[in-house]
Chain A
């Protein structure tokens, strides 16, 4: 088994991993990017719709265009990468020493590094996780799988579609099927509000007359050989299906877009601690986890709305890795916990030092109109007409602003009704 040494190993070559590898290389780190598939790019490769890069490149790009821009950058700085390389296991030896065992077509590699940047993305929830009972016939796909089939391999799964979940992925796939002449019978959403961006509800459903059922759940799939129909019911305030309201929608295809879960299995085996609300790791402002020298970015950290945020996190993780290397570990600091206040479901990062600029990514618990998002300790406020769980609240605080809170024990973020 071949053994190699690095400053940093980046696991997963989606946008977060590529951005992290580029930044690490720019900062002078000896870094390698590891990818399981036979090509770089991750999920944006299969995203032929626009909406990518408005913040990062200040242009409206498709996912594919966005990721090719990153490839160009990558070529310029010359990032070392490995394709068809599967991370078999990670060993934690010491705070500044980890071993990543990688299975590749050239043999098993044992890569040693002081830091890891973990950017392995998320996985999609499947039908067994969202309490769908009934049959298990052909014709059930996750949204990502359907997207790969249509936009990377050019085949269409079915012609009468029901989509479970109204997050952006569900909405975009609804439009995608409609554009190819499939009949999208319904999008079923468990919550009383849509899970995706308003622009997607308008552009993907309303423009194509696709019905959206809010506060509804698919309770059963029916079909022997292939899906024949789904049983749908209204749900009560505890999200339990109401039997009397059940109705059927005939269809041949069910597309599950019922949410993403950060893919952390490999790190949990070496003791990673997760936030039950993000289901991603608990991190400090460098995106370092409870395991020293292990940084997480992108959808493995928190499910993001925008690829721009993912890239930003990848770059931040690389900067964190450099800081770690310079100091043989992140220096001891008086970390302040970031506390969730009223109508905040989660906020990342979980700890801040107050000694540098920091970007918070938060989601609200429920939609609310005319509110003020505040961070009282620094006197920061932002008036918003609308906050929705589908839209991340991203707050950038400068070191200068944080200096004002140097004596505060914590930093809290909350949503208050506007008077």
Chain B
């Protein structure tokens, strides 16, 4: 169950989208993070293939500048301890050939070839579509009000969509996992603090396109800034790292200060930055930061049946598939549940067939089968009507109650381009209106309506 109208709108939506190799985790301090990150990195390769998720594996370069080499080399030691393959130091001459977008003052880098990049929101959508296909029921707009415990056993959850009975509850509520944990009466001192990260996203059409995942070396003051070319071909720079008060769990605003900091840091990291006019979006995401950075993954006795996968901070996305298996084993062992593989388990899911990036001959064939592929709704990202209609169908199929413009954006990329939707948002809204059967002004964007009523509504009041 998910409190938002769609899946993946929390921490999963706005992050750096890296599948980390696992050489940044200290195994003696965070053994679980170190282990599951490495496993997750391997599992995502399989999942991305089976679930048709946009992903690439360029490897990453932790670039060091004057005075940073010693700090950077610490990660080679960690790589050895965590058995991460291929991590090594590269010096300037090799480095600048590996990625010519790096700034000339770089002295070298720690190269980790197993690092990858994913489309995080599409990954969540893909996993959920596959889960539903295998029998999972999704409840959106279901905000948990209460975890019901009777005789030290969980019985279900009271939500904004009614009471849902359950004998095992897994808390994967991200930023709100402390709240849900408290509802079940466990870890009463456990808190999740939002850590804000701001980002710049540039248009596809810029010259600066790092080949590798680039980032600065973490220092005691800064956490390291990334410069990457996303799986969709956009230059992205970020994040900042700013700890917010515990209750600021929806404070995902950007700030002049944060964005200026990013700009300065990336001027050092990159040889040149595109002009500011090529920025198509600035945004911020919140990472859930548990005390001392420790993940809380536990199957509890009291109440029996309550499982925490809480406070999953970085490298949470990279580790997610491994966390899932870990939780599964906890349930199996702790509660003696006999888990058997489904007979008709389908490991595959395919993505919406898209016009963009396809040879024109193939596009022509697509249109012969379905003329709606020949109607382009979003010009920046070449998204057709057929793709929007299919996204609506897929949202309905997984059980999304409210089809939102953002849901369409994350599934089709309509509105993610240079004009940021000023040409296509109303066209997408018209299609939702038509295919879902709601008035245009009632179509939902984010968590509110696109309009307040018919044009004369204020005069008629």
Contact = CB atoms under 8 A, between A and B. Distances in A.
Interface in A146-174: 148-151, 153-159
B98 interface: no
Contact of A123 (B259, B382, B422, B459): B422
A138 B446 contact: yes
Report whether over half of chain B's contact residues are helix, strand or loop; otherwise say mixed: mixed
Interface in B440-461: 440-441, 445-459, 461
Contacts of B256: 131, 133, 219
Nearest to B439: A155
Contact of A156 (B360, B367, B421, B452): B452
Given A103-B355, A128-B282, A225-B446, A153 B440 contact: yes
A128 B382 contact: no
Interface residues of B, number: 57
A145 B259 CA distance: 27
Interface stretch (A104-112, A342-350, A351-359): A104-112
Interface residues of A, number: 52
B247 to A, nearest CB: 13
B375 interface: yes
Contact of B455 (A88, A180, A219): A180
A73 interface: no
Interface in B248-294: 250, 252-256, 259, 277, 279-283
Report whether over half of chain A's contact residues are helix, strand or loop; otherwise say mixed: mixed
B183 interface: no
A265 B448 CA distance: 33
Contact of B450 (A134, A137, A157, A222): A157
A105 B372 contact: yes
A159 B360 contact: no
B430 A105 contact: no
A135 interface: yes
B361 interface: yes
Given A84-B375, A108-B364, A150 B426 contact: no
Interface in A304-359: none
A199 interface: no
Interface string A192-233: 000000000000000000000000000110101110000000
B374 A84 contact: yes
Interface in A100-148: 101, 103-108, 110, 123-124, 126, 128-129, 131, 133-139, 142, 144-145, 148
Given A86-B376, A156-B455, 9 more contacts: A84-B375, A103-B360, A104-B374, A107-B364, A108-B361, A131-B256, A135-B253, A138-B449, A153-B426
29 contacts: A36-B379, A84-B374, A88-B382, A103-B355, A106-B371, A107-B364, A123-B422, A133-B254, A135-B252, A135-B253, A137-B448, A138-B449, A139-B448, A149-B426, A149-B450, A155-B441, A155-B450, A155-B451, A155-B454, A155-B455, A156-B455, A156-B458, A157-B451, A180-B459, A222-B253, A225-B447, A226-B446, A226-B447, A269-B205
Interface of A: 1, 36, 84, 86, 88, 101, 103-108, 110, 123-124, 126, 128-129, 131, 133-139, 142, 144-145, 148-151, 153-159, 180-182, 219-220, 222, 224-226, 265, 268-269
